[in-house]
Structure 1
């Protein structure tokens, strides 16, 4: 007998705080240059508002599989939203950088608990044939919220102050908490597996070291040659290998690596990681190119990227429904072909390219990504037996953060090395047009790199096939 849930109310209580969390993550990126003036801090210091957020997620996400088995759905939900509310309130009131940094860590804790909880809850309360559409709504949150962030923040900074980015988020978080307190049910069993402290330490050093190393490589002057970067990536890798070995030999692992026995889970995971790299590298490079290469304002750049991102968010639930109906192959493969084509055109943009052309390319790119992301994620998770759901979502969410940090760092370093190479051969390296041309040359290289990632993804996608779920008839409480 399958239990009936009030799925709409449950989804609303999870999606609203999720949307606000993802929104504030990118909204602050637009405010970075403004904050550097206000707080009198360097770029490297200001970058910590983003790096610290990602680092917290990278450390927390691997533990969520364990937390989902230790605490009830309601306890985790209240903890995560309360942390987001506290972080948002402190951020709105922040008079200095240190306080804002503390607020960002609290926000990241809220987000790091909420995302895996959201995926896990969907896997439990929806039958497999309806999961695609439900996951599509999560896609709307994960894609559309970060996309609206820069545009709304651009407006707020122009007419009010950066504090309003947080004041505007607060009522929504409180509303989400109230809806959750009323309607959210406990959907998972609390089994309280043994906590292995060594696993926690290794995972923290491993994932934290890698996210920190790559984030640092993307922002520093020395980049990849910096001893801090090399050391933290090396230490992170060693810790991760030890962590993986320990998980394999434990009876109750913190992160169950048996999920890698399921081929469609691996294919889905690889699709998501390549999408994440493509998305983040283009989300970072495009606004920089529009502002520094084409000389547009931050607000104008944000507006140009809004149609594609909005469309991606709105299409996500529809792609989920199409997946429920037809399976992944007919969405994922054409989606990757569209993404590759758009990136190929992007690799040829110049300062003379029209605004309409760039908006159209960005729309195509985001539509292609919406065809790939949710179908491959849902298909991959569908192959797991219910007892591996918390671990599957923990693995996917953690590696997504790691690949995001890697994608960002690689994109920024390709951009800077391309610009340096161009200006090195230039007669007037300080001239405005030459700097714009250098920016163009660097950006073209980044898009070429993203296109190569897409083509590799396309080869992997040829192996995707629909998962037929055999464990659907089980009671979701077990």
Structure 2
């Protein structure tokens, strides 16, 4: 009996568990953006169009959009160790296949396998943090995770730009591989089972509806950037996706044990936090695609230089996350989220006025302050929302948050690219010589300006939402 009691009272070694997650999460998210800088090279290497090569990113997002909703169910079926090991094994296999991929098809398959690893890891990471850290320490811990989650995508373009200039694109994956192996070994040694396995009944229809729903929406919005909003494929996949999502939601509300418990939306701070995160993620991903295009085409910078311009903002954002986490633990979310959106509004308004004469220093400052605003919103809004949920709804809350982040990323990117392309085309109609490089730069810059106005509108909506956010600390 005493052995059973001692097993139940197992001492949870939070630091090694956290370190294992941080290494794995860092590399998973690093490889998500590291490949973006290599897309230009891959077009020439594989002799494919830019719309085809974009699938290396879209396919990754699509896999996450399909898999993450199911993660709430997986968290209740498998132990923490099993899921952590599975996620790392998928990431390692995907990275290895990508490193040796001889053609585009093989690289595409590798990206899907990598995304399965990341899709298993992210919800597991958030859920485990909620279980092993008391509520008054979660802000600081989430801040540390924010450091990793924001820092990895930020340095991805710079590191991959450096690799591409000196080696070749295969090395982006060879560099990641040892870190994934270290994370796996660390997890095998230190990871503990902290979740309760309830093995709820698996509802196949819910999984099918969720896959069609989230998959259709991510696919539709991702395709809109290349095919245009009038395309029958885009319209039909978004409509089918929305219809499947509606049926999925109705089914969840009727089930006694749903796949994703939609009761999470009964908690107002969770819903407001989710909205704030949704809007912020759209701003992050749209600016992460607009700024490299503007720097490389509008200001004619090389890939590595463009990566370096975006580095300070990403690093600052990462360094701010632990600080905002500690402020959140002490004072709650309000004093961070409202000023965070205010800073984003000012920066996006100035970014909507950039032109081909704008100095690189100005872009560095604007990008840095934009991402300071992002760090003041992202983790505090997310942690405050999840804090309001009862323990049994943690898997559903983390699955919902992570799924809608992928969806918002796809929507934000697609809308930004569409606005940019439309503005570019209308600008080119009034140009005397469309082949003139100066005209091409100016047209792209005009498109980027209009896309940042879209970001500005999003940030204003976010500010309005943030006025209603209150601390959800359990007394």
Q: TM-score, normalised by structure 2?
A: 0.97
Unmatched 5+ residue regions in structure 2?
Answer: 1-7
**Partners of 1:426 and 1:38 in 2: how far apart?**
33
In 1: Cα distance, 2:50 partner to 2:91 partner:
25
Q: How far apart are residue 272 of structure 1 and its match?
A: 0.4
Match of 1:374 in 2: 379
C-alpha contact 1:47 1:219 (8 A) present in aligned 2 = no
Counterpart among 95, 104, 108 of residue 88 in structure 1? 95
| Paired residues for 1:243-392 under 5 Å | 243-392=248-397
User: Deviations 1:88-143 (Å, cap 9, x if unpaired)?
Assistant: 11111111111111111110000000000000000000000000111112212221
1:33 to 32, 37, 40: 40
> Please, which of 76, 79, 99 is the counterpart of residue 69 of structure 1?
76
CA shift digits 1:37-84 (9 cap, x unpaired): 111222222111111111100000100000000000000000000000
Provide the C-alpha distance between the structure 1 equivalents of 2:35 and 2:402, rounded to a whole number of angstroms: 22
* Residue number in structure 1 paired with 2:106: 99
Uncovered stretches (5+) of structure 1, i.e. residues with no partner = 471-478
1:2 is displaced (CA, Å) by 7.9
Other-structure match for 1:23:
30
Q: Secondary structure at the match of 2:325?
A: helix
Matches of 1:343 and 1:468, distance apart in 2: 32
How many residue pairs end up in the alignment?
468
Matched, 1:225 2:205: no
* Partner SS, residue 62 of structure 1: helix
1:160 paired residue number: 167
Match of 1:108 in 2: 115
Aligned to 1:475: none
**Residue 3 (structure 2) aligns with:** none
Q: Aligned partners of 2:145, 2:220: CA distance in 1, in Å?
A: 29
State whether residues 384 and 473 of structure 2, in contact with CA within 8 Å, keep that contact through their aligned partners in structure 1.
no
Deviations 1:181-207 (A, max 9, x none): 111100001100000000000000000
State the shift of 1:6 in Å: 1.1
Q: CA RMSD in A?
A: 1.0
SS of aligned partner of 1:224: coil
Q: d(CA) in 2 for partners of 1:230 and 1:436?
A: 31
Q: 1:398 to 1:458 in 2, by over 3 A?
A: same
Which residue of structure 2 aligns with residue 185 of structure 1? 192
Pairing partner for 2:207 from 195, 200, 203? 200
- In the other structure, the counterpart of 1:52 is 59
TM-score with structure 1 setting the length: 0.97
Shift of 1:436: 1.3
Deviation of 1:430 after TM superposition, in Å, equals 2.4
After TM superposition, the structure 1 stretch with the greater mean CA deviation from structure 2, 74-83 or 429-438, is 429-438
Q: Which stretch has the larger CA shift, 109-118 or 430-439?
A: 430-439
Does residue 130 (structure 1) correspond to residue 142 (structure 2)? The answer is no
Cα distance in 1 for partners of 2:219, 2:297 equals 27
Q: Secondary structure at the match of 2:197?
A: coil
Give 1:4 deviation, angstroms. 4.0
In structure 1, distance between residues paired with 2:137 and 2:323:
12
> Secondary structure of the residue that 1:440 maps to in structure 2?
helix
Q: SS where residue 69 of structure 2 aligns?
A: helix
| Partner secondary structure for residue 306 of structure 2 | helix
Query: Do the aligned residues in 2 keep the contact of 1:259 with 1:384 (CA within 8 Å)?
Result: yes
CA distance in 1, matches of 2:286, 2:53: 19
Distance in 2, matches of 1:119 and 1:415, equals: 35
State the partner residue of 2:4: none
Q: Which residue of 2 aligns with 1:447?
A: 452
Match of 2:182 in 1: 175
